[in-house]
Amino acid sequence: MAEKLIVYSDQTRGRIAPEVYGHFIEHLGHFIYDGIWVGRDSKIPNIDGIREEAVAVLRSVSAPLIRWPGGFFADCYDWRDGVGPQENRPVRYLEHQDGDIEPNAFGTHEFMRLCELTGAEPNLCVNTATLTAQDAMDWVEYCNGEAESAITGLRRENGRKEPWKVNYWAIGNEAYWRHRPQDYVQRYLLWRKYMLRVDKDLRIIASLIEPTWRPEPFSPHEDCLQEVVCGIRGNMEMASLHLYSEGGSGGEFTVDEYWDLLAQVDQRNRLRIESLLGVIDAVVGDQRISLALDEWGIWHPEGWKTKSLEQPCTHRDAIFAARYFHLLQSYPRRIALATIAQSVNVLHALLRTDGADSYRTPTYHVFEMFKGHQGGEALECLHTRPRREIRSAATRMRKDALMDLVTVSASKSQQSGKMLITLTNADPEETFAYDVELVGRFTAISASARVLAAEPQDANTFTEPDRVQARNLAVDLSENRVRVRLPPCSVTALAVKGRGAKDLP
Ligand code: AHR
């Protein structure tokens, strides 16, 4: 018998912020140098020094926002090192990379060019560890200032007349590594005050004292977290949360490790989001404060073994990413942005490069298939849930061993009037047929679907770059009902055009 999914086309849960599909890029390993930045004189096809293929990937997933320069790198980065003629830029010792060096060839202008080329909004992170509030203020002025001044004059001298108008600014990164709660509170308030004096419209992201990798579903430092939230309440709009997951090795994993990793999305990660929102709501009581999950993804043990944090990127990671987006889209009013760590070569990458060669990972395809959710109205759904008992660290945490095999999310674009329904089937053996019913004032006139299906350990490689890729999937539309079969271990994107829908993507 077919499973059942009902999508309520008139009942919206809120708008899905496009920025939820954002990217995080850092000066780490082969991300910037040899990854995105190849230099203007490189034989590798590039636009103003930026690898063409990286631009193509970010454009094809409609990257809405890019976070830079870190990460740990932000804590020792002086933006002045990365502006001005290339030949004058200082080479610096990289504190967080054990003595590697930073040539500063990729700086503010190069980053802004990447954003222009990809259509993404920039999100800058200011240094609260080794620089001052004055430096942060100056950077805001350099990017956003219009009046004639020494700082804006420097920008003009460096080739940029008009301000870039950067909206998103994070104050510090993972503050718990660098500051005691009371010190961060003091810095945050000072930095924020002066940055806003330069541009009152900035959207500021606070870094809470909230460790990343801890397996606990609740904050292990609840007292520190409370202290920061208490200290900055009334001056807080967005709070950063970093959430990494791991589950056995990234390339060769056991069946238990397969399930454990996927179970973390709905167990540990959901609990962590809810517990942080719980603290914010209890202390501040303002539900307009949203979360910026500005580092998320899988950190496999292989990623720990080298300084460059490179790891295998299999189809399992793509299933994880799709389920993760379903999780984020279930909080459309509270999650303002999310940036995957990290888009090229590092950790949960979308693109891997080696010299002139490159390939797109299975996770890239999820970003591409889900891009229609960006800015859409999240719709209420009800569905039958095939479940399986999973005994893992993640399910023990919630004391619920039953895991949903299928997850779903639906949205309707106000712009195009089209509906996008995405479904994951995590079961590596079973196919599930779904009878999808669209209720409300929506008259379906056509439907099409694409599917990303493979074995959990399948991956793309330099020699086989298209082994895992999305293909068309037959669907059956009759009146407002669509029948779709979800193959084992798959992600499906079902697009439904309603009467009056425009021909927009
Ligand atoms: O993404 C890699 C590192 O993980 C970042 O530099 C840091 O912010 C986080 O802990």
Domains and CATH numbers, the chain: 3-10+378-498 (2.60.40.1180), 17-372 (3.20.20.80)
- Whether omega for the bond prior to residue 226 falls within 30 degrees of 0, making it cis, is no
Query: By the 8 A CB rule, do 423 and 407 touch?
Result: yes
Query: By the 8 A CB rule, do 235 and 189 touch?
Result: yes
Q: Which residue has the tokens 């910026």?
A: 292
Q: What CA–CA distances, in Å, run from 351 to 358, 423, 461, 462?
A: 7, 23, 11, 11
Q: Which residue has the tokens 């090229």?
A: 344
Strand-strand pairing, 65-68 and 50-51: unpaired
Residue among 97, 174, 177 whose CB has most ligand 1 atoms within 8 A, to mutate: 174
Q: How many angstroms separate the CA atoms of 207 and 294, rounded?
A: 10
pLDDT given at position 130: 94
Q: How far is the CA of 127 from the centre of ligand 1 (A)?
A: 14
Which residues does residue 353 pair with via DSSP β-bridges, in sequence order? 358
pLDDT given at position 118: 98
| Catalytic-residue membership of 295 | yes
Q: Which residue has the tokens 């920039």?
A: 122
Secondary structure (3-state) at 463: coil
Ligand 1: residues with CB < 6 A are: 26, 70-72, 173-174, 212, 295, 341-342, 347
Q: CB neighbours of 451 closer than 8 A, spacing ≥ 6?
A: 470, 471, 472, 473, 486, 487, 490, 491, 492, 493
Q: pTM here?
A: 0.96
| Catalytic-residue membership of 455 | no
The DSSP secondary structure of 189-213, one letter per residue, reads HHHHHHHHHH-TT-EEEEE-S--SS
Query: By the 8 A CB rule, do 361 and 351 touch?
Result: yes
Q: How many angstroms separate the CA atoms of 206 and 41, rounded?
A: 39
Catalytic residue among 26, 53, 174, 257: 174
Rg of the chain (C-alpha set): 23
Which of these, 375, 388, 370, lies nearest to 492 by C-alpha position? Answer: 370
pLDDT given at position 26: 96
Q: CB neighbours of 430 closer than 8 A, spacing ≥ 6?
A: 386, 405, 488
DSSP 73: G
Q: How far is the CA of 72 from the centre of ligand 1 (A)?
A: 6
pLDDT given at position 214: 57
Query: Phi-psi category of 285—alpha, beta or left, where left has phi over 0 and alpha has psi -120 to 50?
Result: left
Q: CB neighbours of 179 closer than 8 A, spacing ≥ 6?
A: 128, 129, 172, 187
Backbone angles phi, psi at 259, to 5 degrees: -70, -35
Protein residue with its CA nearest to atom 4 in ligand 1 = 71
Residue 106: count of CB within 10 angstroms of its CB: 25
Spell out the per-residue pLDDT of the chain, length 505, in tens.
899 999 999 999 999 999 999 999 999 999 999 999 999 999 999 999 999 999 999 999 999 999 999 899 999 999 999 999 999 999 998 877 777 889 999 999 999 999 999 999 999 999 999 999 999 999 999 999 999 999 999 999 999 999 999 999 999 999 888 889 999 999 999 999 999 999 999 999 999 866 665 556 566 677 788 899 999 999 999 999 999 998 888 999 999 899 989 998 988 889 889 988 998 999 998 888 999 999 999 999 999 888 899 999 999 999 999 999 999 999 999 999 999 999 999 999 999 999 999 999 999 999 999 999 999 999 999 999 999 988 777 666 666 788 999 999 999 998 888 999 999 999 999 999 999 999 999 999 999 999 999 999 999 999 999 999 999 999 999 999 999 999 999 999 999 999 876 665 5
Catalytic residue among 295, 310, 368, 377: 295
